[in-house]
């Protein structure tokens, strides 16, 4: 594999999340500007846990884009792969929260700068110089970012990187559900480690998501069909189901009072990948005890992120995650 400059590199969407933050004196909703985008959230979680990271993506040459570059630098994420676009504005997502803190999104992205990343803008020293490469499905929603993503994943894989993937289902970003499924499944073919929600598992397998038996069957199907090292099925307050070719199990969620679930899955993924990077053994060869311990650590990372607003700003430190694991929060 040779010397690797980075522990983790991620490619994908980087955008502004506008998150509800009370009401104005005239009674109108206030929105707080936050950095967003699942791949960057994962990198921020990894960086906060001490890993050396870099990002590949595109933002607008506008005040929002400059702000997002500053956020990368403040989070300790290398910005050499960030491209500024003169042809489109930075993508924006307006986050709506229900009474339980569950979120939904409205995107201003027709097009957004993130979707205009091209293959020749992907710096080869980033794809070849990382131990782990992470991507999601949002950058597969349209061209040219789709081809840029597939090119980068293949280059990283050929260079020996572990490939992790989050097939993040955002129906409003796809022309049709059928097309979305085709490209989301294409990512599964490249990956070693995959995280899905129970809803996404049902979508990818066609199985109902009514209970644990369906999750077990769906997880087994994906692991065996795509040759995955690890599949993680996050279920919110119901905990996480994990599956490898050798083991399957569940880890209960931590008890916290959620405020905003935005970025919780990314915090979970970052914590899990931190353990992957810290292990001398491939995740596919872990014992059941190590799998269980790692998922418990990731659950705590995800749970902590729900107790504060925003995505990057809500990420926990190693000390906070370990404190929650000990049951002292």
DSSP string, 4-63: -SEEEEEES--EEEEEEEEE-TTSPEEEEEEEE-HHHHHHHHHHHTT--EEEEEEEESSH
Q: Quote the pLDDT of residue 101.
A: 65
Which residues are bridge partners to 196 per DSSP? Answer: 233
Instruction: Report residue 221 as tokens.
Output: 């199907």
Percentage of residues in the chain with pLDDT exceeding 90? 81
Helix (H) or strand (E) holding 319: helix 318-325
What's the whole-number mean pLDDT along residues 113-134? 98
Cα distances from 233 to residues 223, 251, 299, in angstroms, run: 12, 10, 11
Confidence of residue 214 (pLDDT cuts 50, 70, 90): confident
Instruction: Report residue 15 as tokens.
Output: 């955008």
Confidence of residue 328 (pLDDT cuts 50, 70, 90): very low
As a whole number, the mean pLDDT across the chain is 93
Q: What is the pTM of this model?
A: 0.94
Q: What is the pLDDT of residues 261-292, one digit of tens each?
A: 778 999 999 999 999 999 999 999 999 999 99
Query: Helices 212-226 and 198-205, interaxial angle, to 10°?
Result: 60
> Is 70 exceeded by the pLDDT of residue 212?
no
What's the whole-number mean pLDDT along residues 221-232? 98
Q: What is the pLDDT of residues 165-206, one digit of tens each?
A: 999 998 989 999 999 999 999 999 999 999 999 999 999 998
Closest by Cα among 228, 260, 261 to 245? 228
Judge whether 294 and 323 are in contact, CB under 8 Å.
no
**CA 165 to CA 174: how far, in whole Å?**
18
- Alpha-carbon Rg of the chain, whole angstroms? 18
**CA 220 to CA 247: how far, in whole Å?**
10
> Is 90 exceeded by the pLDDT of residue 77?
yes
What's the whole-number mean pLDDT along residues 9-21? 93
Say which DSSP state 158 is in.
H
Q: Quote the pLDDT of residue 118.
A: 98
* Cα atoms in the 13 Å half-sphere on the side-chain side of 161: 32
**CA 127 to CA 161: how far, in whole Å?**
8
Q: What is the pLDDT of residues 24-54, one digit of tens each?
A: 999 998 998 989 899 999 999 999 999 999 9
What's the whole-number mean pLDDT along residues 95-106? 76
**CA 247 to CA 316: how far, in whole Å?**
28
Percentage of residues in the chain with pLDDT exceeding 70? 97
Handedness of CA 147, 149, 151, 154 (dihedral sign): negative
What's the whole-number mean pLDDT along residues 8-27? 94
* DSSP reduced 3-state for 297: helix
What domains are defined for the chain?
6-325 (3.40.1190.20)
Q: Quote the pLDDT of residue 329.
A: 41
Q: Quote the pLDDT of residue 210.
A: 54
Sequence-distant (6+) residues with CB within 8 A of 107 are 91, 92, 93, 94, 170, 172, 173
* DSSP reduced 3-state for 133: strand
Range name among 1-5, 147-151, 292-296 with the lowest pLDDT average: 1-5
């Amino acid at each position: 594999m040779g010397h690797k400059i980075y522990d983790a590199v991620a490619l994908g969407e980087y955008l502004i999340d506008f998150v509800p933050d009370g009401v104005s004196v005239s009674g109108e909703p206030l929105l707080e500007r936050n950095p967003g985008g699942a791949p960057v959230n994962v990198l921020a979680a990894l960086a906060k846990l001490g890993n050396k990271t870099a990002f590949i993506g595109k933002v607008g040459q506008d005040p929002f884009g400059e702000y997002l570059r500053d956020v990368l630098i403040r989070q300790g994420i290398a910005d050499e792969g960030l491209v500024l676009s003169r042809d489109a504005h930075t993508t924006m997502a307006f986050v709506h929260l229900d009474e339980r803190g569950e979120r939904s999104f409205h995107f201003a992205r027709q097009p957004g700068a993130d979707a205009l990343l091209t293959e020749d803008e992907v710096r080869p020293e980033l794809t070849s110089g990382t131990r782990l490469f992470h991507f999601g499905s949002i950058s597969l929603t349209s061209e040219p970012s789709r081809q840029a993503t597939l090119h980068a994943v293949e280059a990283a894989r050929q260079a020996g990187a572990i490939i992790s993937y989050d097939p993040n289902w955002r129906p409003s970003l796809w022309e049709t559900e059928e097309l979305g499924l085709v490209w989301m499944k294409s990512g599964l073919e490249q990956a070693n480690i995959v995280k899905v929600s129970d809803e996404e598992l049902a979508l990818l397998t066609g199985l109902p998501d009514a209970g644990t038996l369906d999750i077990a069957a769906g997880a087994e199907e994906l692991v065996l069909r795509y040759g995955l090292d690890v599949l993680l099925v996050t279920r919110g307050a119901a905990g996480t189901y994990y599956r490898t070719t050798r083991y399957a199990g569940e880890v209960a969620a931590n008890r916290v009072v959620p405020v905003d679930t935005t970025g919780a899955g990314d915090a979970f993924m970052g914590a899990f990948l931190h353990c992957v990077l810290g292990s001398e053994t491939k995740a596919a060869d872990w014992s059941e005890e190590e799998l269980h311990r790692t998922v418990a650590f990731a659950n705590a990372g995800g749970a902590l992120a729900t107790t504060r607003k925003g995505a990057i700003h809500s990420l926990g430190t190693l000390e906070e995650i370990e404190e929650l694991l000990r049951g002292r929060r």
